[in-house]
Structure 1
Amino acid sequence: MDAMLFYVLVGAVAVAAIARWRGWPAPLLVTAVALAASFLPFIPELEIDGHLLLNVVLPPLLYSAALDVSFVGFKRSLPQIRRLGIWLVLLTAVMVGLVAWLILPSLTLPGALLLGAIVAPPDAVSAAAIGRKLGLPRRIMTVLSGESLINDATSLTLYRVFAAIIAGAALTVWDGVWQFVLAVVVGVIVGLVFGIVLHQLRMRMADPVVTGTFGLLVPFGAYAIAEHLGGSGVLAVVAMGLYVGFNAPRTEYTTRQQEAPLWLSADLLLESFVFAYIGLMFRRVLSDLGSESVGHILLLSGAVLLVVLVVRPLYIYPAHAIARWQQRARLRRWELVVAKGRFSRKQSVRPGRQPITTEQMKRRLTEPELSWKDNAIISWAGMRGVVTLATALAAADLAALDDESSHAIVIVAFVVTVATLMLQGLTLPVLIRMLGVASDTDREADARAIAAVRQRSREAGVVFLEAKRAEWAQKYGPAEMKAFDGLTERMVRVESDAEDVQELEESVPRPSYDDLAVLMKGWLQVRREVLLEERDADNLDEEVMRELMAALDAEELALDTRGGIGA
């Protein structure tokens, strides 16, 4: 098994590498190749316990996805994310459960609802991997990524409730609600505690290798401890990832430089394995089809797949319309408050923050705009993945389920996962092109925001350099002030691009490289603070801020690298 696992990992990464090289969606190609490979007689069946799969694969994938999600965007889109990540999961689980019970009564109603909970949540890996490749607009990716981060918590909580009922526990609706509330509260608290501790470690420890290693370990700890305390391990990892990702710009640039390629490699390895495992499951599915009820199980698989595909758009459009009506009502109430003079710019001001303007307050009361075309993309981007298969495998081991029910759950989960991956994954690019949904508006808005923040950065840098002028004069004397003025003029003009480091050094012959580096690092830090201020004021998208921050990190790395070479 150990050798087989190694071969699967190597093969999956190799196929993913080919897909990336050719510009193809890697998840789809890996799944398709694994499906074909499962027919080969020399490929043994890969059996992994569902609980082990959840505990080993899910935490790092969720944490990495949460690190990449814009917390500001997540917070603004939270109403949309909550509708999809909680209420749509509940509705899908109930509808699938009722249909499954009608088609295969031997499942029993709790067993059918258990199946509904298993196939209800779209997968974080599938949504992020395919969505990034397709270049979906940020407003859509934020909703899809946010949904896939929290819907697993809803699904796994439902799974625990129905598994307990199948095992003979007498649970009421209120017991189920209490379990969900406990899962949310405990999961978020555990995640924030882990996130705060990890952030403080990253702030105080200068060794990026050590902090990066801790970053790889803590998702497993947060997940396991939250689950042990009755909370949601999923929400614990997500809360930790959102907190650490939001505060990452405040850490040393070396930590960010070390962390980015580390998680990119981990994502490639784990995502490739997940999609390969999905394809290789086909052999087990074929063996499970040996029961006498094969016709009923195949009918059930097709019916559940249809329900999963249809329920999503039938829920999204009415829910969106209701939310827009509620938003208009909120805005009318807000306009009345402003008209009566009850709003003060001094309200809700925290120390060190600018007062909240009426425009900012209005923006906080509104959801990001989604057109009917955007909702069509979201409706068709419900690919299932590792959570569905892992929970199905875990359910198959429940002692209270008979063999036919266990086989039915595994087969249906496999059919829904593969069918949604291949059907929706292959047709989603066509739908995007047909509807003309692209990220052009994102690029235009980003260009305007970048121009504005560069102007602010330049102004803040000038203030910083003026403050350093007297210090420079005292240290090197009036003779060097002309060189200093030329240096600062060039820094403001080129914003100290990494390529101009040598030119800047040569323009100041007498001060040492270390003196120049200190001045330039101060200039870079001022620009970082401007970026953070603009993000916190909701004037700059967090993803754009991260791109600009990465450019500043590269400049500082060039300074340190050149300094090391010179030494």
Structure 2
Amino acid sequence: MEGIVDTVVLIVIAVAGAALARRLGFVAPLVLLVAGLALSFVPGLPEIHVEPELVLVGILPPLLYVAALQTSIPAFRSMLRPILLLAVGLVIFTALITGYLLHLLLPAVPLSACVALGAVVAPPDAVSATAIARRIGLPRRIVTLLEGESLLNDATALVMVRIASGALTGAAVGFREIGRDVVVIAGGGLALGFAAAVVVAWLHAKITDPLLDDAVSLLTPFVVVVVAEKLHTSSVVAVVVAGLYLGHRIPYLLSPTSRLQMDAVWRLINFLLEGVVFLLVGLQVRELVGDLETDLATTVQATALVFASIVVLRFVWMYPATYLARLIPRVRSREERPPAGAPTVVAWAGMRGVVTLAAVLTLPPVDEVPGGYPRDLFVFVAFAIIVLTLLIQGTTLPLVANRLGVREDTSTADALAEAAVQNQATRAALQALDDNADGAPDSVVERLRAIAEHRDNGAWERLGSQEQETPSSAYSRLRREMILAERHVFKIARNEGRIPEEVLTRAQRDLDLEESQLSRSEDG
């Protein structure tokens, strides 16, 4: 019962912190991290210990899955080269160099242990970065790059942590063993993810009940992770591959009701998990400080070295990866040369988060390592890196982007593209209406024609002046007042006993759907 109470309290605090962040105009992860830090030192507050399984199975898979579901495959494919350079090349580069520098500072600690910590802190987390990027209007290519990097760098880091941990515990590690592990772990995860996606796609195509569709979607990342762990393959790769495939196919597999319902469910889960995980990071500080056996000077030096290393190395990597690659004619012909501010912003958007939290908890216990190693120090450094990058880089990223002028307003271009495609869609809809209107009442045909034309006009009106009310805006305003009146009549009828509760529920659902559609049209 006590664990349930703690969970409820965490969720309540996470929701309250997110609400406060939105009201103040801050990014929720930053507010929740600070709240966790403050609460961790409140006298009498019970310590909350984070188990590795909670993060690896309960938190990380659904976060990766929903991110993959929402990722555009065409945009991802167009940015594949820079994404792989960051998600694979930069992670390996950061892990090796950071590990080597840490070994120079702590020569008594095995190099494999230092590389393992380097891999733990190497992958940035895009939750806070993309939240800030969208809020301040960073170019869409930068947002896509950060999202794509965060989807793939997790697998690279966790594979490196597993290999380095194997060397640390005495397992034979050579080029042959590393190659075999990469093929088995990453390749197996790729195959498993694709196989799982095909099976789940088949289930979605057969299911007609929206509740069952939701259940299958919710279970998918957890089932994939469990199977991947049993097969000793990469659960991260499997979940991401499954999410990318299904996200691209969902418009063809699910009914409209299932898509709307599933979107709402995943948005809620994503909101709660992101809030809880950053709150948990802050709440761990008191326990980490209490368990720390390494002296203060060494702790500060190691933390400062790792933080400086991951920040500087990301800059060192970004500029050659951005500009030297464009010396290749094929790359230069396909990709525009970005301004200097773009790689600078991407380099500064290196906040760490969930993946670092998950990875550090997988480090082997001290008693499994011949001669031991300072695991308490490594865990503290990893958590400190999460806190420092979020508080320093997270709070200053908007300022850096503004100073460098790395901003992009795509609202007009998006509205123009939408209007052009909507016009094409309207013509197709009207053609379908004409082809199938035989025998239908004229009033029905004219009503459907008016709806199609209204949608077409609304898309073009969004390109016009915002100073006066457009016909579509007037329609939305007046229809909303009509819906309010209808809803009021149904409620009175229910209260007076003239209709049962089921009738009110059905009518209210229809009115709610229509009103939500009006709100989406205005937001667009």
Q: TM-score, normalised by structure 1?
A: 0.77
Corresponding residue number in structure 2 for 1:211: 213
Shift in Å at residue 9 of structure 1? Answer: 2.4
> Which residue among 383, 390, 400 is the counterpart of 2:358?
390
Shift in Å at residue 236 of structure 1? Answer: 0.8
Corresponding residue number in structure 1 for 2:276: 273
Cα separation, 1, equivalents of 2:241 and 2:512? 30
Per-residue CA distance 1:446-484 (angstroms, 9 max, x = gap)? 122112202211221232122123x23xxx5xxx55x46
Corresponding residue number in structure 2 for 1:461: 429
Corresponding residue number in structure 2 for 1:380: 348
Corresponding residue number in structure 2 for 1:102: 104
Q: Judge conservation of contact 1:34–1:277 (CA < 8 Å) in 2.
A: yes
Cα separation, 2, equivalents of 1:448 and 1:14? 38
Corresponding residue number in structure 1 for 2:462: none
Cα separation, 1, equivalents of 2:331 and 2:293? 57
Per-residue CA distance 1:2-33 (angstroms, 9 max, x = gap)? 13333222212211122123321110000001
Corresponding residue number in structure 2 for 1:260: 263
Cα separation, 1, equivalents of 2:403 and 2:185? 41
Q: Judge conservation of contact 1:297–1:408 (CA < 8 Å) in 2.
A: yes
Cα separation, 1, equivalents of 2:385 and 2:262? 35
Q: TM-score, normalised by structure 2?
A: 0.83
Cα separation, 2, equivalents of 1:383 and 1:174? 34
Corresponding residue number in structure 1 for 2:393: 424
Cα separation, 2, equivalents of 1:137 and 1:371? 12
Shift in Å at residue 331 of structure 1? Answer: 6.8
SS in 2 for 1:47: coil
1:140 aligns with 2:142: yes
1:171 aligns with 2:173: yes
SS in 2 for 1:188: helix
Corresponding residue number in structure 1 for 2:157: 155
**One-letter identity of the residue aligned with 1:413:** A
SS in 2 for 1:395: coil
Corresponding residue number in structure 2 for 1:405: 374
Shift in Å at residue 68 of structure 1? Answer: 1.4
Q: Judge conservation of contact 1:127–1:148 (CA < 8 Å) in 2.
A: no
**One-letter identity of the residue aligned with 1:93:** A
Q: How does 1:132-531 map to 2 (within 5 A)?
A: 132-250=134-252, 251-291=254-294, 293-326=295-328, 328-329=329-330, 366-367=334-335, 370-395=338-363, 397-401=365-369, 405-440=374-409, 442-469=410-437, 471-472=438-439, 480-481=441-442, 483=443, 486-487=446-447, 489-495=449-455
> Which residue among 81, 84, 109 is the counterpart of 1:82?
84
Shift in Å at residue 307 of structure 1? Answer: 0.4
Shift in Å at residue 489 of structure 1? Answer: 4.4
Shift in Å at residue 263 of structure 1? Answer: 1.0
Shift in Å at residue 282 of structure 1? Answer: 0.8
Cα separation, 1, equivalents of 2:129 and 2:198? 28
**One-letter identity of the residue aligned with 2:91:** V
Cα separation, 2, equivalents of 1:143 and 1:116? 22
Q: Judge conservation of contact 1:61–1:125 (CA < 8 Å) in 2.
A: no
**One-letter identity of the residue aligned with 1:288:** D
SS in 2 for 1:201: helix
Q: Judge conservation of contact 1:62–1:124 (CA < 8 Å) in 2.
A: no
Cα separation, 2, equivalents of 1:465 and 1:81? 44
Cα separation, 2, equivalents of 1:331 and 1:109? 39
Shift in Å at residue 225 of structure 1? Answer: 1.4
Cα separation, 1, equivalents of 2:157 and 2:337? 27
Cα separation, 2, equivalents of 1:246 and 1:259? 15
**One-letter identity of the residue aligned with 1:464:** A
**One-letter identity of the residue aligned with 1:319:** A
Per-residue CA distance 1:80-119 (angstroms, 9 max, x = gap)? 1100000000000001101110001222111111111111
**One-letter identity of the residue aligned with 1:430:** L
Structure 1 unmatched ranges of 5 or more: 333-365, 504-553, 562-567
Shift in Å at residue 369 of structure 1? Answer: 5.8
Report sequence identity in percent. Answer: 35
**One-letter identity of the residue aligned with 1:89:** V
Q: Judge conservation of contact 1:101–1:112 (CA < 8 Å) in 2.
A: yes
Cα separation, 1, equivalents of 2:424 and 2:321? 40
Cα separation, 2, equivalents of 1:556 and 1:289? 54
Aligned residues: 466
Change over 3 Å in CA distance of 1:108–1:404 after alignment to 2: closer
Cα separation, 2, equivalents of 1:27 and 1:120? 19
Cα separation, 2, equivalents of 1:298 and 1:400? 26
SS in 2 for 1:244: helix
Q: What's the RMSD between the two structures over aligned residues? A: 2.6
Cα separation, 2, equivalents of 1:204 and 1:115? 46
